[in-house]
Structure 1
Amino acid sequence: MDKIFILLVLSLSTCASNGYSLKLFSAYIPGEKQFPEFSIVTVLDDIIVGYYNSIVYIPRGNTTNEDDVIESVYINDIIDYMHYSFKRRSYLLTQNNSYEVYQTLVQCELLNTQPGKMIIKDAAGGFTTDELTYINNNFTYFVNASYSQVLLKPHLEEFKENLKKIFYPTCKRTLENYLKTRADQIRSLKKPNVKFVRKANTASGSFQAICLATGFYPRHINLTLFRDGQPVSDHKITGGDLLPNDDGTYQMKKILKISEEEKKENRKYTCTATHLSLDNKLDVKLTDNLDNDHYLFYIIGAVCVVMLLTFAIILGIWRKWRQGGEYDLAEAEEYSSEDEEL
């Protein structure tokens, strides 16, 4: 059930920019279904650490009950509040539409041991309905659903107070506790290997500036492309998806297309990476030397030269060997004729 649920909410997932995160993926499926009506999956970074099946909370990947990690005083109240919230949202949204699944993502972060932001996203039918962000005692909220403002405002203000006084401190403490008890399951920090290369398009004269960061852990990373020291607008950049590697680390690639006209301007491009494993940001410059196609040309040329030299050396050795062999044979025949005369 927890694996199926993770697939359902992947589109809601967000990441801390630099640090560790604790996420609660919850779902409400009204009616008679093969799944529990209300369920929660708890994820520490990339590790599923717990599952609630509408009846009991079950730790995952650990032999202990982890009573010292999850504060039982608050967990039942939080679960009841989330369940009630789902039912209320279901009632409000079904005034205009009927949805099969309602989902919520709750995420809190620790950035270099300092508390980070808390994010709460709600979705219905696979689409985000509203999102609330809390950081440094400030709230940011947007709604993308046909909620009545008269009904929404009292509940929103109440929720803000609960988040500030209960949800946020509880999530932060739980994350800190998990980082202690699950330390052996969390991978050690891995620094990103960052390359900033260009790929030419000979037909149009343009090229792509490709920034690839790979081999890093944890998965939270920021890649920023700069032109002459100024950040490039996001709408001009493609890529940015986080992908897993076979060894448990991650990779991310961002691409900027540079036209033939921009290419002539000789601007300076830089890819900057920030990651928990790095003491300082990592700046990688786009080389102003030859494009990949030219590199390939010279590599092929060098290989051909080496092959020709190798062939010449082998041919020279063979000729010397053959000449030496013919000389020895003639000399042997001469000695043989002299013996016969004797």
Structure 2
Amino acid sequence: SNFYYTFKIIFTDVTVMLDDITVGYYDSETSTYITRGNTTNEDDMYNLGDNTAIREHLYDHLVDKLRRENHTDSLVVYQILGLCELLDKDKSGQFIIKNAFSGSTTDELQYFDGKFTYNGPLKYTDQESDPVLQLLMWYHEVFSYPNCLNTLRSYLKKRGAQVKRKVKPRVRLIKKAFSDSGGFRVSCLATGFYPRHINLTLFRDKQPVADHEITGGDLLPNADGTYQMRKSLEIRAADKHRYTCSATHLSLDNKLDIDLGMVISSVLVVLALGLVLMTVIGVFKWRRRRHSGNT
């Protein structure tokens, strides 16, 4: 599981996320921490440490950047991304601090298995002699990293069911005809699934369709916290191949296959039922008129 938070300068807002779920955010205008999707009253800002220190840290970095760079834009944005991980059996994973100024990453500090890795303006030979960087590493190792892990454990205890849940996708093939060419577009849609990782594949005669023939494939969020994905393929009118949509997801014991023939058959069944219903109604009306005429 991942826990990460972002800070955006000007308003100094803080967004707190557990994996891909927003569990809360800090509103600097009201100086309050607001929970999202909370079922208890246990979530609060103390888990993130001293918020005054966070604001001062952001302000100091912004001022330092403005001094070093000739920045003329009216709006200046400084961002920090902090991330820590817990692996299996509560083993501590990596810790990352990434800084961005005006939309571009300026430097990144990683800590894992007792070792720091730094990518930024300082050269490798300067890193060990730079007192500011050494102090920053010490601060993250002693305070930031343990605090982030404790916060992650706390949220996993209270919100773990949300990120560990499994929701099966609803998969269907949608056929849309082109009136001008006689061909059609077939779309494979999987929606309502969680977690976000899914393998959605279109097959032609049991062989995967080449990626350059397929459009779509972007992972999109739903309003209820689940996800959806759609992949589409244009097919000519004279095409006689068999097309299948296959979905593989953690919530499924086996892969889910939907055949295009099932879609066509379903449409034909609906049309046939419609014709039968119209025939029955017509016969009923004819008999009723005949009966009325005889009387």
Structure 1-normalised TM-score? Answer: 0.57
Match of 1:213 in 2: 191
Q: Does the aligned pair in 1 maintain the 2:9–2:58 contact within 8 Å?
A: no
Note the C-alpha offset of 1:136: 7.0
Within 1, Cα distance between the matches of 2:28 and 2:70? 28
Change (3 A) 1:255 1:108: farther
Paired position in structure 2 for 1:332: none
**1:84-103 CA deviation, whole Å, 9 max, x = no partner?**
545445555x2466551112
Cα distance, 1:82 vs. partner?
Answer: 5.4
The match for 1:42 is 16
Structure 1 residues 13-39: Cα deviation after superposition (integer angstroms, max 9, x where no partner): xxxxxx6x533120223xxxxx4xx44
Instruction: Determine whether 1:124 maps to 2:135.
Output: no
Check if 1:307 corresponds to 2:241. Answer: no
**What is the one-letter code of the residue matched to 2:259?**
T
Letter in 2 for 1:205: G
Read off the aligned partner of 1:283 and give its amino acid letter: K
One-letter amino acid of the counterpart of residue 210, structure 1: C
Q: Tell which structure's C-alpha radius of gyration is larger.
A: 1
Deviation per residue, 1:109-135 (Å, 9 max, x gap): 56788667666554433x342585969
Question: What residue is the counterpart of 1:51 in the other structure?
Answer: 26
Change (3 A) 1:139 1:63: same
TM-score between both structures, scaled by the size of structure 2: 0.64
Corresponding residue for residue 238 of structure 1: 216
CA contact (8 A) 2:173 2:260 kept: no
* Letter matched to residue 252 of structure 1: Q
Contact 1:225–1:232 (Cα < 8 Å) also in 2: no
Q: Alpha-carbon deviations, 1:183-231, whole Å to 9, x = none? A: 79x59946133214143453273633323222x45xx411223355769
Partner of 2:199: 224
How many aligned residue pairs are there?
278
Partner of 1:333: none
Per-residue CA deviation, residues 247-292 of structure 1 (Å, 9 max, x unaligned), is: x34331231435549x656465422233xxx2x5662224141655
The equivalent residue for 2:255 is 283
Given that 1:90 and 1:102 are in contact with CA atoms closer than 8 Å, whether structure 2 keeps it comes out as: no
Q: Quick one: which amino acid aligns to residue 33 of structure 2?
A: P
Cα 1:166/1:197, change in 2 over 3 Å:
farther
Give 2:157's aligned residue. 180
Q: Distance in 1 between matches of 2:234 and 2:159?
A: 45
What's the secondary structure of 2:47's corresponding residue?
Answer: coil
C-alpha distance in 1 between matches for 2:163 and 2:267: 38
Contact 1:41 1:52 in 2 (8 A): no
* 1:242-257 equivalence runs, <5 A: 242-245=220-223, 248-257=224-233
The 8 Å contact of residues 42 and 50 in structure 1, kept in 2 or not, is answered as yes
**Does the 8 Å CA contact 1:119/1:134 hold for their aligned counterparts?**
yes
Is 1:106 the counterpart of 2:82? The answer is yes
Compared CA separation, residues 309 and 120, structure 1 to 2 (3 A): farther
Distance 1:42 1:204, change over 3 A: same
Match of 1:15 in 2: none
Which residue identity is paired with 1:191? Answer: V
Provide the aligned C-alpha RMSD in A. 5.0
- Report what 1:6 is aligned to: none
Specify the code of the residue in structure 2 equivalent to 1:308: T
Q: Residues of 2 paired with 1:273 and 1:234: CA distance?
A: 23
SS in 1 for 2:3: strand
Structure 1 stretch displaced more, 127-136 or 295-304:
127-136
Partners of 1:103 and 1:97 in 2: how far apart? 18
Counterpart CA distance in 2 for 1:181 and 1:312 is 64
Q: Secondary structure at the match of 1:309?
A: helix
Instruction: Give the CA deviation at 1:295.
Output: 4.6
Q: Secondary structure at the match of 1:100?
A: coil
Task: Supply the AA of the counterpart residue of 1:41.
Answer: T
